[in-house]
């Protein structure tokens, strides 16, 4: 089972632009395989719902105005959390229909990440990039999905612009 942040970023970043060409990792047989690797069933219905949730979450993170939250309506309708008392305290158990487990899990993962790291989930600052990141830097100023890819590319561009002017 993936950790919340891994699962969330895996979904958000499953449609990268490669060499200028938009791709979609959730398409076709590879998409069903990907869903299975995240702990899902890999059904066509599950992949379709993952695609819809991905679009909604990407919009929510990018626009930051909350209107896309409506697109997530229904995803958690059948989820129930019940308390169980154990010697080490109360444990909340999540009950969810097997077919909804992955799709609901992604939305819960998103919620956990933005609660645990407020303001740290963001889109890559390279506007030709479609990736997302969770900023774990101490000052909270990380801008790139990857320093190696987007960070260096954008720095090189700034240098080139400066050299020209
Ligand atoms: Zn990037």
Confirm if 35 and 102 have CB atoms less than 8 A apart. yes
Distance CA 106, CA 22 (A): 22
Query: Tens-digit pLDDT profile for the chain (165 aa)?
Result: 579 999 999 999 999 998 889 999 999 999 999 999 999 999 999 999 999 999 999 999 998 777 889 889 889 999 999 999 999 999 999 999 999 999 999 999 999 999 999 999 999 999 889 999 999 999 999 999 988 889 888 778 877 888 877
- C-alpha of residue 124 to centroid of ligand 1, in Å: 5
Q: From the CA of 18, how far away is ligand 1's center (Å)? A: 11
Give residue 123 CA to ligand 1 midpoint distance, Å.
Answer: 8
79 Cα to the center of ligand 1, angstroms: 34
Domain boundary assignment for the chain: 4-116
Kindly state the tokens that stand for 104.
């609901």
């Amino acid at each position: 089972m993936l950790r919340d942040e891994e699962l969330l970023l895996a979904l958000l970043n499953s449609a990268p632009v490669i060499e200028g060409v938009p791709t979609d990792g959730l398409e076709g047989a590879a998409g069903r395989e990907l869903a299975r690797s995240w702990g899902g069933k890999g059904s066509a219905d599950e992949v379709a719902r993952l695609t819809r949730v991905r679009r909604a979450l990407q919009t929510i993170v990018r626009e930051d105005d909350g209107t896309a939250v409506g697109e997530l309506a229904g995803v958690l309708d059948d989820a129930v959390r019940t308390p169980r008392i154990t010697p080490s305290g109360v444990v909340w158990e999540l009950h969810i229909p097997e077919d909804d487990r992955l799709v609901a899990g992604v939305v819960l993962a998103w919620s956990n990440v933005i609660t645990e790291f407020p303001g740290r989930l963001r889109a890559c600052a390279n506007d030709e990039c479609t990736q997302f990141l969770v900023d774990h830097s101490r000052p909270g100023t990380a801008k790139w999905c990857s320093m190696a890819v987007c960070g260096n590319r954008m720095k090189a561009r700034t240098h080139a612009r400066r050299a020209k002017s």
